[in-house]
């Protein structure tokens, strides 16, 4: 059984930031530099986690906690690791951490054409509540604005638990196991 490790990322962790930048270069069209990514992680409102196969970052995600809302900023999985449930695991972890940090709701923007991401977010209860025309400058594509219901309701906590169980089963069937390192 292959074990993946999920751990909190600090801006001082050069290897994590470099690995995250590689994943971004392979997955997103709006490229971030390592310096820009480090500044993003360093911001007092941000919280980021990386998913590792041994020493290689295979996915990561993060959000900003703004008062009582979590704004999901990034979620990316290395192309060789996509369609294995890693994005689902990362999103679930971020929503649990947002709830623990005091967020009552979560929001994000996603490309209107990104049907795979939209399907993932819908499984976690996100709903489209707005549109930002021409938000993505590389191709003038619209962004859809998604929001969750309240994170602190029994119904939403049940959705999180159900998704976590599905991820665990899917990982098991693929010979994967996820270990979470405690947050600092």
Average pLDDT of the residues in 25-46: 83
Extents of the domains making up the chain: 2-180
The C-alpha atoms of residue 93 and residue 123 are separated, in whole angstroms, by: 14
The C-alpha atoms of residue 66 and residue 161 are separated, in whole angstroms, by: 24
Active-site choice (40, 48, 97, 121):
121
pLDDT value for 113 = 95
Active site residue 172: no
Whether the full predicted model's pTM is greater than 0.95, yes or no, is no
More confident residue, 75 or 30: 75
The C-alpha atoms of residue 156 and residue 151 are separated, in whole angstroms, by: 6
Q: What band does 28 get if pLDDT is binned at 50, 70 and 90?
A: confident
Digit-coded pLDDT (tens) for 84-129: 999 999 999 999 999 999 999 999 999 999 999 999 999 999 999 9
Active site residue 52: no
The side-by-side arrangement of strands in the sheet containing 2-8 is 127-136, 141-147, 105-111, 69-77, 56-66, 46-53, 2-8, 176-180
Active-site choice (109, 124, 135, 162):
109
Digit-coded pLDDT (tens) for 141-179: 999 999 998 898 999 999 999 999 999 999 999 999 999
Q: Domain spanning 2-180: which superfamily?
A: Gcn5-related N-acetyltransferase (GNAT) (3.40.630.30)
Cα 94-100-167 angle, rounded to 5 deg: 40
Q: What band does 31 get if pLDDT is binned at 50, 70 and 90?
A: low
pLDDT value for 75 = 95
């Amino acid at each position: 059984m292959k074990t993946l490790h999920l751990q909190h990322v600090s801006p001082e962790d050069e290897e994590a930031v470099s690995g995250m930048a590689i994943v971004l270069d392979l997955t997103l069209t709006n490229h971030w530099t390592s310096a820009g990514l480090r500044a993003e992680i360093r911001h007092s409102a941000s919280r980021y986690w990386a998913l590792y196969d041994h020493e290689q970052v295979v996915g990561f995600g993060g959000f900003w906690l703004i008062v009582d809302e979590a704004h999901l900023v990034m979620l990316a999985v290395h192309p060789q690791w996509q369609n294995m449930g890693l994005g689902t695991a990362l999103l679930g972890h971020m929503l649990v951490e947002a709830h623990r940090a005091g967020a009552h709701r979560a929001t994000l923007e996603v490309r209107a054409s990104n049907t795979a991401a939209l399907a993932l977010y819908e499984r976690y209860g996100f709903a489209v509540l707005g549109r930002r025309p021409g938000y993505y400058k590389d191709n003038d594509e619209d962004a859809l604005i998604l929001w969750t219901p309240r994170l602190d309701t029994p119904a939403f906590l049940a959705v999180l638990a159900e998704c976590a169980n599905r991820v665990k089963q899917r990982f098991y069937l693929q010979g994967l196991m996820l270990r979470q390192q405690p947050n600092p």
